[in-house]
Amino acid sequence: MTNNYDFDSFMGRSNREEPTQKPNTSNNHKSAEPVSRRNVKSGGTIAFWQKGKIDITFLSLILILMSVGLICLFSSSYAFALSNYKDSYHFIKKQAFFTVIGIGFMLFLSKVNYHIYRRFAWVIYGATIVMLVVVLLLPPMSEDLNFHRWLYIGSFSFQPSEIAKFSIVLLFAHLISKYYNTQMKDFKFSVLKLGGLLMVFCGLVVVETHLSATLLIFAIGASLMVIGGIKLRYVAGAIGVAVTGAVTAVLTGLVGYGNDRITSWLDPWSDERGVGWQIIQSLISIGSGGFFGRGLGESRQKYLWVPEPHNDFIFAITCEELGFVGAMIIIGLFIALVWRGYIIASRSTDKFGALMAIGLTLQVGFQAALNIMVVTNTIPNTGISLPFFSYGGTALVMLLAQMGIVLSISRASSVTKV
């Protein structure tokens, strides 16, 4: 008895057979998922280039978010940039440069056959673990910030946790699609194996004192497990263990950096010139925007009142300038992007593509939701950026590259182009 009903009903599919290549009668490949004919050359090898038309709606949403993000970044950053770098264009020039590179990667990867990536799922997972370990061995950012997050190669730097987000989507999409009909209901595979692989990443990232990335990686992995058909009681148990462990770590001081953040979340005015300063200024900024906002470029809080106005707290400045209406439009764009990713996934010709598409778009949705909840003090400050808006060149290139993979999946899907 198979579990197709679970996956197909979630994705809004009927229980139809997926198109396959020439049947393989070898017992060694019983669990392998078939590959769509359109992606296979004669002889059974996977074609490098992906055929089909790109999903214009998904691409348009990405470009709109990028355009609005660049405008908001410049508006929120020029005062901070002038004060710290004597150049109002310091951040926007770099971000625009990386935007061009990222869009180039996105368009190139949209042409690459996404089935190729699954061959490297384990290699990328292993390489990511190595990078996460290396980061822990390096000195912290500074004496004041005991953070181990960045790897430096000359003047180039990046966070391995960004690669970990992609790696967990790729590996889980590979394993779940491969063993969907045989082992996803099995406790040893779905909980011990998949859960263990996920916890390795989460454990390494939380030790780096990167709580937001830990939450994001866990949310992505757990979501793919649920979509893949894991028994819900296993998920409930895993979440209970994770929450208990996180609370225990904070209360016992094992993760000491969480104490101040919880204090500032519960009562930021208890230390309004210390740990509560950032969130207080953020709330003032949001409240000052009112319904229609002060107007683009008219924020007062960006003049060195809100820390990180170009990064984690850019949404606060955006709310002040564009108001409730502008904020809701931006949130609506993110929701539309995730929904369109779901449509692409639901029309994918194979489970691997469906899981990749939904995993990569959920990453954007989860990250945007976490950032907005932090900025509005709905949850403690976890230090998370807003996709397409916050400053960060390598993170932006990585994000656009992943959106290119979703576009590649859209070429092979049966989604209606509008």
Say what the pTM is: 0.86
Nearest Cα neighbor of 395 from 69, 172, 77, 139 is: 69
Per-residue pLDDT tens for 94-108? 999 999 999 999 999
More confident residue, 20 or 245: 245
Per-residue pLDDT tens for 85-139? 999 999 999 999 999 999 999 999 999 999 999 999 999 999 999 999 988 887 6
| Mean pLDDT (whole number) for 216-225 | 91
Per-residue pLDDT tens for 258-286? 566 776 777 787 777 777 888 999 999 99
C-alpha pair distances (Å), 117 with each of 19, 47, 127, 364: 20, 12, 14, 20
Nearest Cα neighbor of 346 from 121, 16, 2 is: 16
Percent of the chain beyond pLDDT 90? 52
Per-residue pLDDT tens for 24-50? 444 444 444 555 555 655 455 778 888
Quick one: how far is CA 78 from the chain centroid? 27
Confidence check: pLDDT of 21 > 60: no
Per-residue pLDDT tens for 162-216? 899 999 999 999 999 998 877 777 788 888 888 899 999 988 888 877 778 888 9
Are residues 148 and 160 in contact, defined by beta-carbon separation less than 8 angstroms? Answer: no
**Alpha-carbon dihedral 145, 150, 153, 155, rounded to 10 degrees:** -60
Alpha-carbon distance of 314 to 183, in angstroms, equals: 44
C-alpha pair distances (Å), 29 with each of 178, 182, 266: 9, 12, 54
C-alpha pair distances (Å), 155 with each of 93, 100, 151, 152, 158: 17, 19, 10, 7, 10
Q: What is the pLDDT of residue 273?
A: 79
Alpha-carbon distance of 169 to 201, in angstroms, equals: 12
Cβ neighbours for 109, distance < 8 A, ≥ 6 positions apart: 401, 404, 405, 407, 408
